[in-house]
Amino acid sequence: MKSESQLPTLKNEAQNPSKVKYVILFLLAGLLYCLLPLSHVKFGDIIITGKDQSPEAVVLEVLRKSPVLDTHLDLPIALREEFGLDFNAFNLTTPKPSPFPFHIDFQRTREGHLGTASFSSFVECPKPGEADTSVRDTLEQLDAVYLLEELYPDYIKIVRSAHELEKLSPKKLGVMLSLEGGHHLGDSLGALRVYARMGVKYITLAHNCDNVFADAAVEGQRTNHGLSDIGKALVQELNRNGVLVDISHTSDETAHQAIDANAGPLFWSHSGAREVFNHPRNVPDDLLHRLRDSPNDGVLQVVIAAADFMGDEPTIADVANHIDHIAEVAGKSHVGIGSDFDGVPTTPEGLDDISKYPSLFVELYKRGWTKNELAGLARGNFIRILRKAEKVAKDLKRMQSPVMDVPYTRHDLLDNRDKH
């Protein structure tokens, strides 16, 4: 044991001015290192200091605390169409050029303050007379997302619930699973239940074609006059399994009927405002009124990257006009971001890829959006309705059995049922 005379004392240290000087320099260097991220941040080509209260500085403060949650990115289909799902052929840690379909990589994820992305699986609509490979192709894309998590464990974490979203490490990109079209189900509610167990958080009722469940907004033939009987059963089973009923891409009639049948929150994964730009993929005001008035809550995620739906040669200002209109009609607590990056060939000017999210938020801040409203737009509004969908599912599973209905197309099952 050391004697009292051997123990270091402040007096003894003070007798060595050289050592004290180095200790002080070391402490100052450490303090400077800690303060540097707060005092010197880059926003595009702009350098932001800690005391800066410019719109850019305010937006970065918001997005540090509430990073963007984008409910629609088409990375799985981009990997399929560009690389044949060969994971040896690309590296998402290497920055890529912006031209379609390379709107996303991990560097731009950080630059854009993207915290969570729903990687949507997409397959083309089945063609009459040809083999329907929708379920196979869907499973391959879901597998691709799980492979991304396996191959990039330091960058990606698949999330399955609102709780996991809120507990997600800021060092990782949270990834949700979703399906873009009812044809992904292969006319099977059983497929829906399997997808739900895999972690799928929303399914779009129809894409650019009618299916056995619902009619589409674009290229649809109004086969069902909205939602079919089996489509209503699908909505019920989506509710029971905690999968959001996505009415983007659907006809107006389908959307109204789906809202009537829906016990959970209203949800559009990637749409715009028809009053701002007249396109069938955008949402008319009568549906926005239903979003505003719904006792089930809801959110419309705005398709910020799809130039075709935003206007003629659109800019960031045009995209902000869509967001502002939806907020004015339905309320700022009912709007979010669902970009469609990697799924569109052209983007609005100034929104080239995911690194540009902050520029859109700056535009909205200049228009009077508060920090709390921007945080809701970025992620809070969606997390709120996801939590409500989970509660609906929990209640329904206590009260209801799985839906056993099958579409009229499933003669393989119906013929066997007729025996009894």
Omega into 101 within 30° of 0, i.e. cis? yes
pLDDT digits (tens, 9 = 90+) for 266-306: 999 999 999 999 999 999 999 999 999 999 999 999 999 99
> What is the model's pLDDT at position 95?
75
Three-state DSSP class for residue 385: helix
Q: What is the DSSP letter of 66?
A: S
- Strand-pairing partners, residue 173, are 156
> If you average pLDDT over residues 130-154, what whole number do you get?
96
Q: Binning pLDDT at 50, 70 and 90, where does residue 413 land? A: confident
Closest CA to 338 of 416, 247, 403, 402: 247
> If you average pLDDT over residues 307-329, what whole number do you get?
96
Q: Binning pLDDT at 50, 70 and 90, where does residue 405 land? A: confident
> If you average pLDDT over residues 355-359, what whole number do you get?
97
Question: What is the overall mean pLDDT for the chain?
Answer: 89
> What is the model's pLDDT at position 130?
87
Report residue 375 as tokens: 């945080």
> What is the model's pLDDT at position 2?
42
Residue 336's Cα: distance from chain center in Å?
A: 9
Question: What is the rounded radius of gyration, in angstroms, for the C-alpha atoms of the chain?
Answer: 25
Give one DSSP letter per residue of 131-182, joined into a string. Answer: ---HHHHHHHHHHHHHHHHHH-TTTEEE--SHHHHHH--TTSEEEEEEES-G
Q: Are 240 and 403 in contact (CB under 8 A)?
A: yes
pLDDT digits (tens, 9 = 90+) for 54-71: 999 999 999 999 999 999
Closest CA to 287 of 250, 315, 316: 250
List the domains of the chain with CATH numbers: 51-399 (3.20.20.140)
Neighbours of 41 (CB within 10 A): 18
**What percentage of the chain reaches a pLDDT higher than 90?**
76
**What percentage of the chain reaches a pLDDT higher than 70?**
86
> What is the model's pLDDT at position 3?
44
Q: Binning pLDDT at 50, 70 and 90, where does residue 149 land? A: very high
62: buried, middle or exposed (CB in 10 Å: 19+, 13-18, 0-12)?
buried
Q: Are 298 and 267 in contact (CB under 8 A)?
A: yes
In this predicted structure, the answer to whether residue 207 has a pLDDT above a threshold of 90 is: yes
Alpha-carbon gap, residue 281 to 283, rounded angstroms: 7
Neighbours of 45 (CB within 10 A): 5
Closest CA to 264 of 389, 106, 96: 389
- The residue type of 370 is T
**Between 125 and 413, the higher pLDDT residue:** 125
In this predicted structure, the answer to whether residue 258 has a pLDDT above a threshold of 80 is: yes
Alpha-carbon gap, residue 377 to 302, rounded angstroms: 10
pLDDT digits (tens, 9 = 90+) for 320-344: 999 999 999 999 999 999 999 999 8
> What is the model's pLDDT at position 349?
95
Q: What is the DSSP letter of 280?
A: T
Q: Are 319 and 293 in contact (CB under 8 A)?
A: no
Alpha-carbon gap, residue 111 to 102, rounded angstroms: 15
Q: Are 103 and 305 in contact (CB under 8 A)?
A: yes
Positions annotated as catalytic residues are 72, 74, 180, 207, 249, 270, 340
> What is the model's pLDDT at position 31?
56
- Strand-pairing partners, residue 353, are none
Q: Look at strands 173-179 and 41-43 and give their pairing.
A: unpaired
Q: Binning pLDDT at 50, 70 and 90, where does residue 139 land? A: very high
Q: Are 340 and 381 in contact (CB under 8 A)?
A: no
Give one DSSP letter per residue of 40-52, joined into a string. Answer: -EEETTEEE-TT-
Measured in residues, the chain has a length of 420
Q: At residue 18, what are phi and psi to the nearest 5 degrees? A: -60, -45
pLDDT digits (tens, 9 = 90+) for 12-26: 444 565 655 665 666
In this predicted structure, the answer to whether residue 220 has a pLDDT above a threshold of 80 is: no
Alpha-carbon gap, residue 142 to 286, rounded angstroms: 35
Three-state DSSP class for residue 291: helix
Give one DSSP letter per residue of 296-317, joined into a string. Answer: T-EEEEE-TT-HHHH-SS-BHH
